[in-house]
Amino acid sequence: MKNILRSRPVLLVLLCSFIALFSGCASTATTLAPGADLTKIKNIHVVKLAADERRIDKILADQLNVMGYSTTLGLESRIPEGTDAVLTYQDKWMWDITMYMLELNVQLRDPKTNMALATAKSYRPSLQRKSPPEMAKEVLTEIFKSK
Partner 1 sequence: MILRLCFAGAACLALAFLSGCASPSNATPLTAAEFSPAYKHAESVSIAATGGSETSSAGASQISNAAIVESVAQTIRQSGLFAQVAAQGAPYRLEVHLVRLEQPMFGATFTVHLEMNWRLLDAMGNPLWQKAVQSAGTATMGDAFVGVTRLRLANENALRLNIRDALTQIGSLELKR
Closer CB to partner 1, residue 5 or residue 50?
5
**Alpha-carbon separation of residue 63 from 25, 53, 71 (angstroms):** 25, 18, 10
Minimum CB–partner distance for residue 69 and partner 1 (Å) = 21
Minimum CB–partner distance for residue 5 and partner 1 (Å) = 7
- Report how far residue 19's alpha carbon sits from residue 13's, in angstroms, rounded to the nearest whole number: 10
Closer CB to partner 1, residue 72 or residue 105?
105
Minimum CB–partner distance for residue 57 and partner 1 (Å) = 17
Closer CB to partner 1, residue 23 or residue 141?
23
Closer CB to partner 1, residue 73 or residue 94?
94
Minimum CB–partner distance for residue 118 and partner 1 (Å) = 9
Q: CB under 8 Å to 51, separation ≥6 — which residues?
A: none
Contacting residues toward partner 1, per CB under 8 A = 2, 5, 22, 24, 29, 31, 33-34, 90, 105, 107, 109, 113-116, 119
- Report how far residue 144's alpha carbon sits from residue 139's, in angstroms, rounded to the nearest whole number: 9
Q: How big is the CA angle at 99 (ends 28 and 14), to the nearest 5 degrees?
A: 80
